Amino acid sequence: MSDIPYKDKGSILGPFKSLGFFSRKPVTEPFEPRIAADNYRGFHVNDWDVCIGCSTCQKVCDNAAITMVKIPGLPDDPVKGIRNERPAIDYGRCCWCGLCVDICPTGSISLTQEYVHTCREDELDSYFILPDPKGMHNKLFPKGWSKSEDADLVDLERQHMAEMEPQSRSDNFDEIVDGFTDQQAIIEASRCVQCGMCHDSCPTNMHAPEYIRAIWEGDAEEAVRQMYRSNPFSHVCGRVCTHRCETACSIGRRGDPVAIRWLKRYAMDAVSDERVREIAAEGKADFISGKKIAIIGSGPAGLTTAFDLAKNGHAVTVYEALEKPGGMPRYGIPEYRLPYDRLDADIDVIKSVGVKIECNVRIGSDISMKQLRQDFDAVVVAIGLQQGRSTRIPGSDHEQVRSSVDLLRMITAGESFDVPESVVVIGGGNVAMDIARSLARMQKSQYGKVAVTVSALEDFDHFLADPEEVREAREEGVVILDSRGPRECIIGKDGKLEGLTTLGVISIFDEDGRFAPSYDEADEQLHPGSMVIESIGQMSDISLFGEELTEELEWNRGRLQADENGVTSVSWLWSAGDMVHGPDVVHAVADGHRVADSIETYLNKE
Amino acid sequence: MRPENYEAIKQPPSNEFELNFGPNHPGIEGNYAFRVKLNGDEVLSARADAGYLHRGFEKLMEGRLWIQNIALVPRICVPDPVPMEVCYSLAIEELCGLEVPERAQWLRVMQLEMSRLAAHLFAFGGHAATTGMYTPMFWGVADRDLILDRFEELTGGRVYSIYNIPGGVRRDMPDGFLDRLESLLDYLDSRLADYDNLFFRNQVFIKRARDIGTMSQEQALKWGVTGPNLRATGLAFDVRRDDPYLVYEKIDFDVVTEPGGDALSRNLVRRAELKQSIRILRQIIKHLPSVKGPVRCPIPNPLAWNVPAGETYTRVESSKGELAYYVVSNGGDKPYRVHVRGPSSMHAVQVLEKLAVGSRLEDIAQIMFSLDACPPEVDR
């Protein structure tokens, strides 16, 4: 029972109680604008310097109130993961829920403490606004609902990738990372906001949002299908890609970017090789065009070109000088990063669409370019960068001063050489890490200890190798020295190499930004080693062209001149891959597609 | 001569006539209407005419991500939106097996009771207006606004707080919030006597509301009546006590009943519940500072959130009665089906149609407000 004595009729004097109201303070609302609460969800403001135009706000908006509008003049750089689009809000639809704020990967968008907007009938457009940092009426109201840790809906933490412990991996070439489990892959894939920054930044524009979505849906086959739209080297890229996608990932603005590369690896491993071959062959032309194309070099660029052209019904022959196809991924990347059977799986898929690969055939000596010109409708040179550059410091002509690419090739090919007990590597890029870590493994298994010193020109803030490579190399016992320039390879009286002396680096570039390192002569160190390995860059072996063709072709500072489609100055010859764009698998794949398209157009014109 | 099959058109008796009561009528809540048949001012029959506010929420929800619906559900019942958010969130939490942190549970109960206070103030103010007393309505609305101020501070929104999401609440309360809430409760406590003097003990109200729209307990149960309306027929049933959710088990409160079953009893139950809600809130103010921890459990990226397949029925006690969500998921990122069991659907349609019969035209508005029926929730 309620406690209201409603049956009590009260006193006749009751109404006089109301006189007491005369003494109360009247309730009035002041004319001046009311101060809103600190968390108030008022009108939007957007910090354009922080916003990257990823459109995640648009995706979460439950009323479709957000439209992305292109703003000319704002930075638009796919590689950095920035678009020149900014959200515009339709206040006829907005319900001020603030989900756009909570899901914003960058934290650029907030709601202000501003209450009121009104307009005349002819100003209805004023309800459609493009929020900028100044606010709806340029009145700079304080921020209300903005990014907070409690309300953040972005999952900033990446799934942990299990890997071998340094002790157990340091004397063998087993693959280091374990790969995601099904559950991990689904969780990792679920972190993606489908902004497509990864797609835009990828040199070959892989359909990462689509395959991540497919992985999240548990459909690895669909993920593979999406990958083969743009990359026949998905096993390779799933392991050793330079993952620009992750650099551009919008989640990476405040947290760990989505592990796109590992997700690719997961999907490729989750589907059987046979099924991958079936998926890759989907869309293959059901006719034979009668055109013949020769491709020199079986690396990612050459084989991607071959894959595309073979799918279009052309007869493609790939010539490889070495024993096995694969190019740098096979002969340059150590097995602990890219197991050979995964590379073979990629190549098998490419072969399965009809690409013929002839190994142990060196163009220039076994078959001449002239012969190729006669036998084929088009020729592609994709020979990569297989010769190491030399520092040309005193003593660098000693036989124990080797090039990293040569040694890496020998390790893969199983050619024997005397593993040095101590070694110094010159260079600070990923190739330097590869050879250092490979030799460290061989030393560990032969001698039980590691004595590898890497001396790099760059300091650690500007290091060329990936941070994880540096970390893992250190874990395996490799000593890495930064800001050291090579001076001389010291040769003893007995003619044996004793080590390398280096100088401290003062600066690497001159005032004009040209490469001209200057050293501190007083800061000299000797790094003892019975072998010195130069790993300061690679170049192409262009002897295959022969004198006549070399004359005919145009060159640009030692590199073959080609337009963006790989067309050289000779109409039947294309070039692709590292020899044009420098060392990177995914660039080579992108190049392969472009060259294939260009050849397709050329053949159709004929 | 008349043909054999001639039948005279049956005209209603000249003393009967039909009247459209609403949708534009000051005595009707929201956009809602009744077609009433009258003899003089006595209601012979009444037919609910809903649909003016139909927005298709249940269907809309099927096309939106699970998280997007949190901005949609509070709109189902404007005066009492919080139970909608909480009940929807509870359903998803049950399907996903999410464990809501204790602090979030206390914060949810706090909002639920604040919302109940606001809704009851609105309801009795509205009822007063139907009997020609506008001051209680102004008071009710003005005092509700003070509660909305606290909502604004806590949640960032005054009416649609959109503060509860699956997994907990969106952010912790601001510093000093409980102090300000306490002073608001002190104020509301002091106002109860004013409300009583002006309205609940006012003979104009008592004489008009007594024995109006009376239903027996059996009828109420048969018609699906819940909440204060059911308790006004003498049955002490309250989801908060009889099927406790969140932390209601830890809170001390009375389930108030009235035996009458008429408009007066229903208002008196609401009046008593104002006091109970204040009592609950005072306990929360005392207890909440000792409950530490997060206010939300981790949830997946809302853009890629598959809720496991299954179905669930969750219910809470809203100011109108038993509010429930029947949610079916087929394992996708959007609900397969959401059905809202809104208490007002029963109160405003079948109950009101029956209670109106035999009453007088001027009492229809009073009966409707005494049932505290919410047309947006009927239409959805």
pLDDT value of residue B232: 92
Would you call A213 and B196 a contact, using CB atoms and an 8 Å cutoff? Answer: no
Nearest partner of B260 among B252, B251, B269, judged by Cα = B269
Task: Specify whether the CB–CB gap between A109 and A53 falls below 8 A.
Answer: no
Q: Which residue has the higher pLDDT, B179 or A584?
A: B179
Res. A28: pLDDT tops 80: no
Res. A370: pLDDT tops 90: no
For the sheet containing A128-129, what is the strand order?
A66-70, A85-90, A128-129
Would you call A102 and B64 a contact, using CB atoms and an 8 Å cutoff? Answer: no
Task: Give the gap in angstroms from C-alpha B153 to the nearest C-alpha of chain A.
Answer: 5
Give the pair of three-digit tokens for residue B253: 């409160």
The predicted model gives A26-45 an average pLDDT of 82
Residue A502 burial (CB count, 10 A): 26
Cβ-based contacts of A1 with chain B (< 8 Å): 256-259
What is the band of A3 on the pLDDT scale with cuts at 50, 70, 90?
low
Nearest partner of B122 among B103, B101, B106, B138, judged by Cα = B138
Q: How far apart are CA B161 and CA B144, in angstroms?
A: 14
What is the band of A42 on the pLDDT scale with cuts at 50, 70, 90?
confident
Res. B186: pLDDT tops 90: yes
Nearest partner of A258 among A228, A220, A227, A215, judged by Cα = A215
Of B65, B153, B157, the CB nearest to A96: B157
What is the band of B211 on the pLDDT scale with cuts at 50, 70, 90?
confident
CATH 3.50.50.60 segments of chain A: 285-386+560-605, 388-537
Task: Say if domain A44-129 classifies as CATH 2.30.30.50.
Answer: no
Task: Give the gap in angstroms from C-alpha B41 to the nearest C-alpha of chain A.
Answer: 28
Res. A60: pLDDT tops 80: yes
Percent of chain B with pLDDT over 70: 100
Q: What are the pLDDT digits (tens) for A99-125?
A: 999 999 998 999 998 888 888 888 878
Classified as helix, coil or strand, A121 is helix
Would you call B201 and A18 a contact, using CB atoms and an 8 Å cutoff? Answer: no
Size of interface A-B (CB pairs under 8 A): 120
pLDDT value of residue A397: 84
What is the homologous superfamily of the domain A166-279 according to CATH?
Alpha-helical ferredoxin (1.10.1060.10)
The rounded mean pLDDT for chain B is: 88
Give the pair of three-digit tokens for residue B308: 């496991």
The predicted model gives A145-163 an average pLDDT of 86
Task: Give the gap in angstroms from C-alpha B353 to the nearest C-alpha of chain A.
Answer: 27
CA nearest to B139 within chain A: A27
CATH class of A285-386+560-605: alpha beta
Give the pair of three-digit tokens for residue A269: 């491993």
Residue A26 burial (CB count, 10 A): 6
Res. B336: pLDDT tops 90: yes
Q: What are the pLDDT digits (tens) for A531-549?
A: 888 888 888 877 788 777 8
Task: Specify whether the CB–CB gap between A531 and A402 falls below 8 A.
Answer: yes
The rounded mean pLDDT for chain A is: 86
CA nearest to B148 within chain A: A37
pLDDT value of residue A606: 64
Of A2, A9, A99, the CB nearest to B71: A99
Q: How far apart are CA A35 and CA A42, in angstroms?
A: 12
Would you call B258 and A2 a contact, using CB atoms and an 8 Å cutoff? Answer: yes
Q: Which residue has the higher pLDDT, A582 or A236?
A: A236
Q: What are the pLDDT digits (tens) for A392-451?
A: 888 888 888 888 888 888 888 888 888 888 899 988 888 889 899 998 888 888 888 888
CATH class of B16-379: mainly alpha
pLDDT value of residue A6: 61
Interface probe for A, chosen from B103, B301, B305, B330 (most Cβ of A below 10 Å), is: B301
In sequence order, the 6+-apart residues with CB closer than 8 A to the CB of A145 are: A39, A40, A41, A98, A101, A110, A111, B156
Kindly list the distances between the CA atom of residue A482 and the CA atoms of A96, A396, A433, A485, in Å, as whole numbers in the listed order: 52, 21, 13, 9
pLDDT value of residue B6: 84
The predicted model gives A295-302 an average pLDDT of 89
Q: How far apart are CA A209 and CA A198, in angstroms?
A: 8
pLDDT value of residue B314: 93
Task: Give the gap in angstroms from C-alpha B232 to the nearest C-alpha of chain A.
Answer: 9
CATH 3.30.70.3270 segments of chain A: 44-129
Would you call B152 and A98 a contact, using CB atoms and an 8 Å cutoff? Answer: no
What is the band of A58 on the pLDDT scale with cuts at 50, 70, 90?
very high
Q: How far apart are CA A260 and CA A268, in angstroms?
A: 12
User: Where are the strands (E) in A282-344, listed by range?
Assistant: 292-296, 315-319
Give the pair of three-digit tokens for residue B127: 């009822």
CA nearest to B64 within chain A: A62
Percent of chain A with pLDDT over 90: 8
pLDDT value of residue B283: 93
Phi, psi of B323 (to 5 degrees): -105, 130
In sequence order, the 6+-apart residues with CB closer than 8 A to the CB of B151 are: B111, B114, B115, B118, B157, B158, B159, B161
Nearest partner of B156 among B174, B138, B139, B131, judged by Cα = B174
Res. A281: pLDDT tops 70: yes
Task: Give the gap in angstroms from C-alpha A238 to the nearest C-alpha of chain B.
Answer: 22
Q: Which residue has the higher pLDDT, B345 or A3?
A: B345
Task: Give the gap in angstroms from C-alpha A54 to the nearest C-alpha of chain B.
Answer: 14
Q: Is A182 left (phi over 0), alpha (psi -120 to 50) or beta?
A: alpha
Q: Which residue has the higher pLDDT, A227 or B24?
A: A227
β-strands B310-317, A531-534 pairing: unpaired
The full set of domain ranges for chain B reads: 16-379
Phi, psi of A238 (to 5 degrees): -70, -10
The interface predicted TM-score (ipTM) is 0.84
| CATH architecture for the domain at A388-537 | 3-Layer(bba) Sandwich (3.50)
CA nearest to A101 within chain B: B170
For the sheet containing A497-509, what is the strand order?
A484-491, A497-509, A515-528
Q: How far apart are CA B75 and CA B57, in angstroms?
A: 9
Q: What are the pLDDT digits (tens) for B151-180?
A: 999 998 888 889 999 988 998 889 899 999
Res. B292: pLDDT tops 80: yes
Q: What are the pLDDT digits (tens) for B228-259?
A: 999 999 999 999 988 888 888 899 999 999 88
Would you call B301 and A190 a contact, using CB atoms and an 8 Å cutoff? Answer: yes
